[in-house]
């Protein structure tokens, strides 16, 4: 079946929508479903798809909602500021929309990953070289700032000012891809 | 035979280094060579790395402009970085559907990438062992396929390409979660390592039905390479890692290597037992299959795959001589619908495909002492 919305890609998701007291079903592709509201997966999909896996393990979004409500009664639904994916929809479609989704849903992800990856929740493998560099700079900035605070506390103001300049320089370096900028 | 010329659109700064025709027409993919360790049982080793660019939404949520920008960035990074540009760039939207199907059948691209509406593209290395897919489920999918059992070697190559791209492209990476991917089942290393294994004796003796659930408990998945689920077409299975988070690349590769080694031992033992206990029945089955491939006038994919598996087993056990395994590898690729039609130079109906497939097998297995003399006359 072809997606009812874009009429281009194959439909893989059924969207159920309440309309004038009746529920209306729409067959959409993954991409169009991403932009729609409530989603229920086509049951005749291949077994053990990631969506069904998540839906099965988490029974929709209920465990998270009750968990969330017990913590804070006023909490609104979690939505990625960049791609607008909500956590509920993430569980439904089983895909992240962008890297920012990981930040947005960070607190809830260890639970999801634990189920998917035999209890593991943190990466232990390869680290990109570029990331290593910026990680090293971040660590250095923290180190310099701690020294600066010590210097201030001990009223060594000249040294503190030098450390502040060093931290700023590192901060600039971090923001500009690890290259020290002499012009600055 | 009809010759087809392909027009590939080129990205700025990306030089086309070879004809796409080579990738389409050459039936034996680089990974289909018959060398590599345990190549009688392990047909290929594949490593796939999923990577994304931090500044763009993943393909599922990206706009057309973003998808095109990603495409351009990746293509430029790969071509400019390499000292000798040795990758051919192909855009899915500029390839006819039959050619896309052929690339899928050669395992050089995924079915998902082939959708021309998705702004997908692929960069293929000259020897067809490396393919870099752009705008698949993730921005970048690095795939490396080696013949036989070469887990370390295949990873080393994929890792090199990854390092090359990483120098140019800002990857989406997180201290806690590692490489960020669209699907949470790839998060962490973004790596899927797999081996494609021919396990006829374990299938004939039904031991595979007990082995598959046991392997899945070890964080690995076994599935039929062409069919879904455990029903494998041609007794070819793919074993791959399920877990991508919380284990290092080398731990995952080691686990896969251990399981593969155990499967090889089991398969060899099952072959010995089959030979010992029911040699005549086995010989009968294998020669009948060879007969089918050499004489059939109509051959469906399923039957062809089953018979190919039998003949391959016959060669491995030295029961069938005079047939070259490399021809079988070629036929495995060629017998698929897309390739068959490419070979025929025209689109074919289901029945026409079965006729053409049978003809192809008769031609290719035309070996002295096997093919009947009357066959020679009708063909010439």
Q: How does pLDDT run across A5-25, given as a tens digit for each residue?
A: 777 777 777 666 555 556 667
Contact check, Cβ <8 Å, A125/B178: yes
Q: What's the CA gap between A33 and A4, in Å, rounded?
A: 10
Q: How large is the angle between the packed helices B151-168 and B64-81, nearest 10 degrees?
A: 110
List CB contacts (< 8 A) between B137 and chain A.
95
A135 contacts chain B (CB < 8 A): yes
Q: Identify which has the larger pLDDT, A29 or B65.
A: B65
User: How large is the ipTM?
Assistant: 0.81
Contacts A–B by Cβ distance under 8 A: 130
Cα three-residue angle B120-B126-B122, rounded to 5 degrees: 5
Contact check, Cβ <8 Å, A113/B187: yes
pLDDT category at A106 given cuts 50, 70, 90 is: very high
For B94-132, what is each residue's pLDDT tens digit?
A: 888 888 888 888 888 988 898 877 889 999 988 889 999
Smallest CA-to-CA distance from B186 within A119, A132, A116, A124 is with A116
Chain A stretch 145-184, residues whose beta carbon is closer than 8 A to a beta carbon of chain B: none
For A84-95, what is each residue's pLDDT tens digit?
A: 999 988 988 899
Rounded to the nearest integer, the mean pLDDT of chain A is: 74
Q: What's the CA gap between A95 and A34, in Å, rounded?
A: 9
**Domains of chain B by start residue, with CATH:** 1-34+45-188 (3.30.590.10), 278-367 (no CATH)
Question: Which stretch of B8-22, B74-88, B199-213 has the lowest confidence by average pLDDT?
Answer: B8-22
Candidates B55, B119, B186, B188: best to mutate against A (most CBs of A within 10 A) is B188
DSSP secondary structure of A22-89: EEEEEEE-HHHHHTSS--EE-TTSPTT-HHHHHHHHHTTTHHHHHHHHHH-TT----B-TTT--BHHH
Query: Looking at residue B35, what is its pLDDT?
Result: 63
What's the Cα-to-Cα distance from B354 to each of B149, B228, B233, B346, rounded to whole Å? Answer: 33, 22, 17, 14
Q: What's the CA gap between B93 and B119, in Å, rounded?
A: 7
**In the predicted model, is pLDDT for residue A178 greater than 90?**
no
């Amino acid at each position: 079946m072809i997606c009812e919305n874009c009429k281009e890609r194959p439909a893989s998701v059924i969207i159920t929508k309440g309309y004038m007291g009746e529920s209306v079903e729409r067959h959409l592709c993954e991409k169009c479903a991403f932009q729609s509201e409530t989603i229920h997966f086509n049951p005749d999909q291949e077994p053990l798809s990631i969506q069904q896996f998540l839906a099965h393990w988490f029974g929709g979004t209920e465990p998270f909602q009750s968990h969330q409500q017990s913590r804070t009664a006023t909490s609104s639904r979690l939505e990625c500021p960049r791609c607008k994916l909500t956590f509920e929809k993430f569980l439904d479609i089983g895909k992240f929309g962008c890297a920012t989704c990981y930040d947005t849903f960070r607190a809830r992800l260890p639970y999801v990953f634990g189920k998917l990856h035999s209890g593991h929740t943190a990466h232990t493998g390869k680290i990109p070289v570029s990331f290593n560099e910026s990680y090293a700079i971040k660590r250095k900035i923290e180190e310099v700032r701690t020294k600066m605070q010590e210097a201030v506390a001990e009223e060594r103001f000249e040294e503190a000012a030098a450390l502040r300049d060093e931290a700023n320089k590192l901060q600039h370096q971090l923001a500009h891809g690890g290259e020290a900028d002499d012009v600055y | 035979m009809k010759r087809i010329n392909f027009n590939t659109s080129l990205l700025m700064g990306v030089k086309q280094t070879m004809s796409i025709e080579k990738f389409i027409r050459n039936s034996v993919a680089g990974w289909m060579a018959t060398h590599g360790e345990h190549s009688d049982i392990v047909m290929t080793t594949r490593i796939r790395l999923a990577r994304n660019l931090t500044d763009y939404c993943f393909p599922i949520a990206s706009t057309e402009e973003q998808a095109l920008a990603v495409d351009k960035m990746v293509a430029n990074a790969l071509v400019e970085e390499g000292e000798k540009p040795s990758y051919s760039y192909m855009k899915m939207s500029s390839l006819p559907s039959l050619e896309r199907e052929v690339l899928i059948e050669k395992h050089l691209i995924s079915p998902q990438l082939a959708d021309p509406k998705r702004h997908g593209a692929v960069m293929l290395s000259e020897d067809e062992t490396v393919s870099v897919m752009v705008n698949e489920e993730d921005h970048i999918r690095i795939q490396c396929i080696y013949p036989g059992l070469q887990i370390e070697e295949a990873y080393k190559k994929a890792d090199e390409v990854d390092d090359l791209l990483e120098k140019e492209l800002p990857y989406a990476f997180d201290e806690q979660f590692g490489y960020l991917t669209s699907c949470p089942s790839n998060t962490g290393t973004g790596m899927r390592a797999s081996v494609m294994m021919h396990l006829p004796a374990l299938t004939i003796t039904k031991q595979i039905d007990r082995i598959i659930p046991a392997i899945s408990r070890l964080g690995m998945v076994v599935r039929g390479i062409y069919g879904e689920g455990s029903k494998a077409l041609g007794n070819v299975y793919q074993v791959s890692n399920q877990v991508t988070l919380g284990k290092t690349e080398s731990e995952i590769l080691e686990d896969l290597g251990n399981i593969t080694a155990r499967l090889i031992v089991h398969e060899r033992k099952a072959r010995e037992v089959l030979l010992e206990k029911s040699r005549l029945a086995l010989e009968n089955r294998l020669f009948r299959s060879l007969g089918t491939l050499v004489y059939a006038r109509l051959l469906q994919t399923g039957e062809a795959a089953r018979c190919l598996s039998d003949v391959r087993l016959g060669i491995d056990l030295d029961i069938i001589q005079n047939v070259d395994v490399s021809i079988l590898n070629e036929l495995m690729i060629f017998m698929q619908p897309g390739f068959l039609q490419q070979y025929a130079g025209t689109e074919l109906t289901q029945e026409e495909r079965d006729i053409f497939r049978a003809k192809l097998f008769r031609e290719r297995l035309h070996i002295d002492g096997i093919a009947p003399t009357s066959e020679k006359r009708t063909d010439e």
